[in-house]
């Protein structure tokens, strides 16, 4: 009986994770082919139920310009999801919040590459405080979340 309960619990958890993946749109990530922290961020998103497709590009600044990411908001990789731009090491929980709330913005970003943000963890080094900011096509920014 106990074994059946455990198996049922595992099956329900697996079904829940599958349903979460089905509800979230796929993420398209544009990154440098040699960037390890970008790959770690992709792993972070996948661990939170996102389906992620990556495209390695040599001219990443062209991608950022095309999607009107303000200079002050730029980081090492750019992602597109659900009609939004996600720039840099944004936590998956903030991407999920963005997709749930659907604010009238172009996207969210973690400017730079703060230590401790997803994909930028360094063992033995204290994480930096950082903000996730919103931006619009005019370049206006405001704080979306603080970590």
Q: Does residue 105 register a pLDDT over 60?
A: yes
Higher pLDDT, 135 or 37: 135
What's the confidence (pLDDT) of residue 6?
Answer: 41
Topology of domain 25-146 in CATH is Glutaredoxin (3.40.30)
Please write the tens of the pLDDT for every residue from 81-93.
999 999 999 999 9
- Show me where the domains of the chain are located: 25-146
- Is residue 27 within 8 Å of residue 81, measured between CB atoms? yes
Q: What percent of the chain has pLDDT over 70?
A: 84
pLDDT of residue 36: 86
Q: Rounded to two decimals, what is the model's pTM?
A: 0.83
């Amino acid at each position: 009986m106990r074994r059946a309960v455990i198996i049922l619990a595992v099956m329900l958890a697996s079904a829940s994770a599958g349903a979460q993946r089905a509800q979230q749109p796929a993420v398209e990530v544009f990154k440098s082919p040699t960037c390890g922290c970008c790959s770690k961020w992709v792993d972070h998103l996948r661990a939170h139920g996102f389906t992620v497709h990556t495209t390695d590009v040599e001219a990443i600044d062209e991608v950022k310009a095309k999607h009107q990411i303000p200079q002050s908001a730029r980081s090492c990789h750019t992602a597109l999801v659900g009609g939004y731009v996600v720039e840099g090491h944004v936590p998956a929980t903030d991407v999920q919040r963005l997709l749930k709330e659907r604010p009238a913005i172009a996207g969210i970003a973690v400017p730079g590459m703060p230590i401790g943000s997803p994909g930028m963890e360094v063992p033995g080094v204290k994480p930096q405080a950082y903000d996730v900011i919103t931006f619009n096509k005019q370049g206006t920014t405001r704080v979306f979340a603080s970590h």
